[in-house]
């Protein structure tokens, strides 16, 4: 019996943390981890599309750029 669980390294704060996921693609990962559609996602330092197929030990970082600046 094959398993669909993968262990990726997901960026949390300033470091990558081993994270078990059921997702096979970035699109599925967005749903599983509640990553907004507008967020940019990179894997192993490269921007990827939602069709990218996740592999064990991929380093995944999501950048959400909907923040606004304050008075400076």
Dihedral sign of CA atoms 32, 37, 40, 44 in order: positive
- Residues 35, 29: contact at Cβ < 8 Å? yes
**How confident is the model at residue 70, as a pLDDT?**
56
- Residues 16, 43: contact at Cβ < 8 Å? no
Complete domains list, the chain, with CATH: 6-63 (3.10.20.30)
Length of the chain equals 72
**How confident is the model at residue 36, as a pLDDT?**
93
**How confident is the model at residue 1, as a pLDDT?**
40
Q: What is the pLDDT of residues 34-72, one digit of tens each?
A: 999 989 999 999 999 999 999 999 999 999 876 555 555
pLDDT at 11 over 80: yes
The pTM is what? 0.83
Tokens of 52: 């990218």
């Amino acid at each position: 019996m094959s398993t669909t669980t993968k262990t990726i390294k997901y960026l949390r704060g300033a470091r990558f943390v081993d994270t078990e996921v059921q997702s096979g693609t970035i699109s599925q990962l967005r749903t599983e981890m509640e990553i907004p559609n507008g967020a940019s996602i990179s894997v192993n330092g490269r921007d990827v599309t939602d069709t990218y197929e996740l592999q064990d030990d991929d380093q995944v970082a999501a950048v959400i750029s909907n923040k606004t600046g304050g008075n400076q």
